[in-house]
Amino acid sequence: MSQNVGDRITDQAVAFVESLEYSSIPKEAVHLGVRCVLDTIGLYLAGTTEHSVEILIEEALAQGGREEADVLGETSKRVPAALAARVLGTAGHAHDWDDTQVSHDPTHFYGLLTHPSVPPLTAAIVMAQREGNVDGRALLTAFLAGFEVECKISEWMKPDHYRRGHHTSGNVGTFGAAVAAAKILGLRGRELRNAIGMAASFSAGIRCNFGTMTKPLHVGRAAENGVTAALLAQRGFEADPTALDGQWGYLQVMGNGYSPEKVAEGFANPMTIISPGVSIKPYPSGILTHQSMDAMLKLVTEHDVKPEEVDRITFFAGNNILEPIRYDVAKDHLQAKFSMAGLLAMMVLYRQAGRQEFTDEYVGSDAMQDMQRRITTQLDPEIEAMGFDRIRSRIELVTKDGRTLVQWADERYRGGPAMPMTDDEVADKFRACTNGLISANRQNEIIEQIMRLPELESTAVISDWLNL
């Protein structure tokens, strides 16, 4: 469906961003936003262990330029804000452990939305470092403004966007970053419209790069491009002032249209972070895999199945899992994030899947390679016919002594709005992300400071959080 002129989505976005003040943000949204900040800061630090991020840090330091924002892990060295955002944003998505948007729309295939926090938080942080004198409330307001615009565009756009091979987090994330950066800069009116217009053209990322270093770079580029759009708009660089609308607007070109019913509800009615909500991931892999990983863990734990007892495992699911989770046998840790054989093998062998399991050494080990080859995936027509609004799967494990054990995945999942992590569990995830990188005492100090983010008179302390 083409867009109706009367919907004026860009107008709605601009009006929302201009009017959003900390005092108008619901307390629930503030609390949920702070939790997302804590989760994402831990992921930035965890990302420093990835070779892809090491390469980007080396490139940023070699390129140099205006000393505007910190280089992740090297906070005594500064580079242009956009370059800093590329590094930080890539680190946040490097483990595929960052939060995910939720939808209740049965036509919006589950899991095909965006990872909402990294692009706007990255942009808000680097712009706060560039501008200085930004307090915690201002940073949180900018973050939540970008989060809301990013999520609503993703939710309103037809799911054709993802099915055709676009990576939503890299594409729509550009708008979240542009809005957050613009909010820190105080852009309004035509300048804000220009930032959104440039974000529409800067948006990029395709799914063929899932399972490679370039997948997290999509999100790093979203942050970088959003910052660039806001900075150019501040200088007077122009773009289409209604770039989300019309025949050649973003939603039509990239998504083949949008849902008029959803658009009619408008921004922040309610804020997406409140409803449908956001999922904080327990595992560093695609959100589509988590229910099945929990099912595998439940099966081997309840039946006390030892790895050497496994003859074969068959994983039954629909195309909503089997299309994007596409590697039959993972050869390295990046492919493992998109391989049911790799992920289920971890649960059989180690009964956990965290930062320590997602290394090339673990995934390439003889035990992992052997177990993966005992696992096959199969399209199940009955599951496929149930629809794509939920993640549904079934695991059948046959032991060497002839037993057949069956486990269905729970359609709910840990970390999602129906089974959310507690604040303490989010803090524990932060510790899991940063163990071996910073001391336990430092972990506790950062957790306490982040949970008091709205009270901080200066966000300069973020430099200390991101220093190794």
What is the three-class DSSP state of 254? helix
Helical (H) or strand (E) element with 93: helix 81-93
The predicted structure's pLDDT at residue 468: 86
State the burial class of residue 393 (Cβ atoms within 10 Å of its Cβ: 0-12, 13-18, 19+). Answer: buried
What are the extents of the domains in the chain?
5-282+424-465, 287-408
Please state, in angstroms and rounded to a whole number, the distance separating the CA atoms of residues 207 and 215. 8
In CATH, which of 3.30.1330.120, 3.40.309.10, 3.40.50.2300, 3.40.190.10 is domain 287-408?
3.30.1330.120
Amino acid at 193: R
Number of CB atoms found within 10 A of residue 415's CB: 22
φ/ψ of residue 135, rounded to 5 = -90, 175
Exposure string for 114-147, b = 16+ CB within 10 A, e = fewer: bbbbbbbbbbbbbbbbbbeebbbbbbbbbbbbbb
**CATH 3.40.50.300 correct for 5-282+424-465:** no
* pLDDT tens, residue order, the chain (468 aa): 344 544 799 999 999 999 999 999 999 999 999 999 999 999 999 999 999 999 999 999 999 999 999 999 887 899 999 999 999 999 999 999 999 998 888 776 555 589 999 999 999 999 999 999 999 999 999 999 999 999 999 999 998 888 889 999 999 999 999 999 999 999 999 999 999 999 999 999 999 999 999 999 999 999 999 999 999 999 999 999 999 999 999 999 999 999 999 999 999 999 999 999 999 999 999 888 999 999 999 999 999 999 999 999 999 999 889 988 989 999 999 999 999 999 999 999 999 999 889 999 999 999 999 999 999 999 999 999 987 767 899 999 999 999 999 999 987 788 988 889 999 999 999 999 999 999 999 999 999 999 999 999 999 999 999 998
Q: Which residues pair with 70 in a beta bridge?
A: 78
Alpha-helical (H) ranges within 323-451 are: 333-336, 340-349, 360-363, 366-372, 381-385, 423-434, 440-451
pTM reported for the whole predicted model: 0.92
Q: Is the dihedral of CA 248, 251, 254, 257 positive or negative?
A: negative
Q: Is the dihedral of CA 453, 117, 249, 264 positive or negative?
A: negative
154, 156, 159, 161: CA torsion to nearest 10: -60
- What pLDDT score was predicted for residue 323? 86
Token pair listed for 170: 């890299």
Helix/strand/coil percentages in the chain, nearest 5 = 55, 10, 35
